[in-house]
Amino acid sequence: MITPRERVLNRVADHLAGQARPLRVAVDGITASGKTTLARELAAAVAARGRSAAHLSMDGFHHPRAVRHRLGRDSADGYYQDAYDFAAFSRLVLDPLGPGGDRRYRTRIIDLRSDTPVDEPAVQAPDDLVLVVDGSFLQRDLEWDEVVFVDTPFAVARDRGTRRDAELLGGLEKAEKAFDQRYHAASRRYLDEVGPAARASVVVVNADVAHPLLHRIGGPADAVVNLFSYGTLQTPSVQIEHFGRTLVGKEDVLPGYRQDWVTITDPAVVAVSGTDRHPIVRHTGDSNESVVGTMLEVTTAELAAADLYEVDDYRRALVRLGSSVDAWVYLATD
């Protein structure tokens, strides 16, 4: 039985694995929001889909301690401005994996615990690599292909972080002071100045780690994306239930695919759609075969709602329609 957390991770992994080229993915959020755990799980989920994936932590791209603490050990401005060597990270990781790069990237430049520089050989990235990077302030002057923002309330993150770091920071009281005066004070400045949740292409609400919520996916808050539907998402009652409105669409076709049928066992989906027999499509590559449907324009919040409506028999992928427009579509998982 798939867990609610696995379901959200799988939908985000489908979104990433369905895109071409080496993909540079940030997992962003306030301190102790759950970024590292989610990034590791997400890289594993992408790899399970047959795509090359790697996880990298910004811990390996900190400035030396003398730079990080030059404004004082408790300084929020010092943490915000001096924690990470973003220039080196861009030069050694993002640029090589970007357009025209040689795909040779570094995994770290410092051992954070010993505060010792590291000069390790570059790693050659495979052509289909999805690199998942976790860290703080990642939408400040860095260029990414996708950004997952882990949205966790400050009170929840403070409780997690202070318990996690109490031994490292000299006890619970000192950990609470560090979070209040340095880490979360800097995080509040980041939220105020950058607005990272609105800019991110994916937003996962992580207040309850066992039951995260997929809030948005597919682009920033104001983006509109194309979704090709050949089944129940074309039905007004389903649209109203999951999107709160009826959608305007254009008839289109998906060439090189054929339509089959699947029996749905999720009672909520059956109740909304009115049937347990749903269409599903599979790739054939035969130009004589095609599936007729509707291209819908949806917001990134609506695309997230569609992801959660579709059962696990479906995975979302990016395709080229007969009209030469690129759109997301739900295909057979197998």
In tens, the pLDDT along 288-304 reads 999 999 999 999 999 99
> Do residues 202 and 231 both lie within one domain?
no
User: What is the pTM for the complete model shown?
Assistant: 0.93
pLDDT at 150 over 80: yes
Count of alpha carbons within 13 angstroms of residue 291, beta-carbon side: 27
Closest-CA residue to 140 (of 192, 86, 198) = 86
Six token digits for residue 320:
């080229």
Shared-domain flag, residues 282 and 315? yes
Regarding whether 177 and 94 lie in a shared domain, the answer is yes
Q: Is the pLDDT of residue 161 over 90?
A: yes
pLDDT exceeds cutoff 90 at 312: no
Nearest to 57, CA basis, from 100, 10, 108: 108
The CATH number of residue 88's host domain is 3.40.50.300
* The pLDDT value given to residue 51: 95
* Position 1 pLDDT exceeds 80: no
Task: Verify that 176 and 297 share a domain, yes or no.
Answer: no
Integer-rounded Cα Rg, in Å, for the chain is 22
- The predicted-structure confidence for 95-133, as pLDDT tens digits, reads as follows 999 999 999 999 999 999 999 999 999 999 999 999 999
Which DSSP letter does residue 334 get? -
Residue 170 binned pLDDT confidence (cut-offs 50, 70, 90): very high
Same structural domain for residues 155 and 265? no
Q: What is the C-alpha to C-alpha distance for residues 147 and 138, in angstroms, rounded to an integer?
A: 9
76 and 200 in a single domain? The answer is: yes
CATH number of residue 315's parent domain:
3.10.490.10
> What is the DSSP-derived secondary structure letter of residue 300?
H
Residues 182 and 293 in one domain: no
pLDDT tier at 22, thresholds 50, 70, 90: very high
Write down which residue in 162, 188, 217 finishes a domain. 217
Query: Is the backbone of residue 264 left (phi > 0), alpha (psi -120 to 50) or beta?
Result: beta
Domain end, chosen from 217, 235, 265, is at: 217
pLDDT tens across 207-218, in order? 999 999 999 999
Tell whether 21 and 156 lie within a shared domain. Answer: yes
Q: How confident is the model at residue 94 (pLDDT cuts 50, 70, 90)?
A: very high
Same domain, 207 and 246: no
Distance CA 300, CA 286 (A): 32
| 266 torsion bin: left (phi>0), alpha (psi -120 to 50), beta (else) | beta
Residue 333: per-residue pLDDT: 86
**pLDDT at position 44:** 98
Mean pLDDT value across residues 74-93: 97
The pLDDT of residue 253 is above 80: yes
Lowest-confidence region among 153-167, 258-272, 277-291, 295-309: 258-272
> What residues does 56 pair with on adjacent strands?
133
Say yes or no: 42 and 139 in one domain.
Answer: yes
pLDDT surpassing 80 at residue 92: yes
pLDDT confidence of 287, banded at 50, 70, 90? confident
Distance from chain centroid for Cα 6: 13
Residue among 153, 152, 134 nearest 144 (CA): 134
- Total domains in the chain come to 2
Looking at the fold, whether 139 and 48 belong to one and the same domain comes out as: yes
Cα angle 92, 93, 96; round to 5: 85
CB 270 within 8 A of CB 197: no
Residues 280, 245 share a domain: yes
Domain that holds residue 253: 224-332
Question: CA 16, CA 316: separation in Å to the nearest integer?
Answer: 10
Q: Please say which residue of 174, 192, 217 terminates a domain.
A: 217
What's the confidence (pLDDT) of residue 129?
A: 98
pLDDT at 74 over 80: yes
First vs last C-alpha separation in the chain: 17
